[in-house]
Structure 1
Amino acid sequence: MRYHGRMSGYSGDKEAYLKRLARIEGQVRGIARMVEEDTYCIDVLTQVSAVTKALQAVSLGLLEDHVGHCVLDAARESDEAAADKVREASDAIARLVRS
């Protein structure tokens, strides 16, 4: 993760993000147990889909925080800084869409 001398945009929601990620981590461990126990493939895929959606929700929240804090702060700083942050956000969106 990049750090540019400021607090992260999500810092106010850090505990909520950590709780969500801990739940996702538990879900992933559960999927591993399902595979170890030879659980029916479709049931495993259903759980993979649930984890994927949960990670997407975290990603969208982080992206919203980034735009609402980091991009906004950069826009107050200069047009060039704002353009850099918008480009960074656009690149992140492109990676999310491809994943």
Structure 2
Amino acid sequence: MPREDSAPAVHATHADIVKRLRRAEGHLRKISAMIEEERPCVDVAQQLAAVEAAVRQAKQVFIRDHIDHCLDGVLRDGPEAKAVLAEFKDISRYL
């Protein structure tokens, strides 16, 4: 839920998250090729688990960064606390 009165937030971790996601994207392409090449199912499953873990870690870093930089600062300021709390509840469902 972007705030209307400010530009989208970009944090130091965003570049790392994008790098992680691009790496996972490359792995997904490789997994598709593995399936087409009829590689052993155990090998494919192992690679799928690795991609799933990488995406989960990227998500966790992204959400924690949002909590640390976007929500914490606004909560200290006070007047927007209710809106921030609603935003926290909304984003936390993705954890």
Q: Does 1:88 align with 2:74?
A: no
What is the root-mean-square deviation of aligned Cα atoms in Å?
2.0
Partner letter of residue 50 of structure 1? Answer: A
Contact 2:13 2:62 (C-alpha < 8 Å) held by counterparts = no
After TM superposition, where is structure 1 displaced by more than 4 Å over at least 4 residues in a row?
none
Q: Once the 2 structures are TM-superposed, how far is the Cα of residue 50 of structure 1 from its aligned partner? A: 0.3
Percent of residue pairs identical: 29
Instruction: Give the gaps of 5 or more residues in structure 2.
Output: none
Q: What TM-score does the superposition give when structure 2 sets the normalisation length? A: 0.80
Contact 1:63 1:89 (C-alpha < 8 Å) held by counterparts = no
Q: What TM-score does the superposition give when structure 1 sets the normalisation length? A: 0.77
Higher helix share: 1
Number of matched pairs = 93
**Partner SS for 1:3:** coil
Contact 2:31 2:48 (C-alpha < 8 Å) held by counterparts = yes
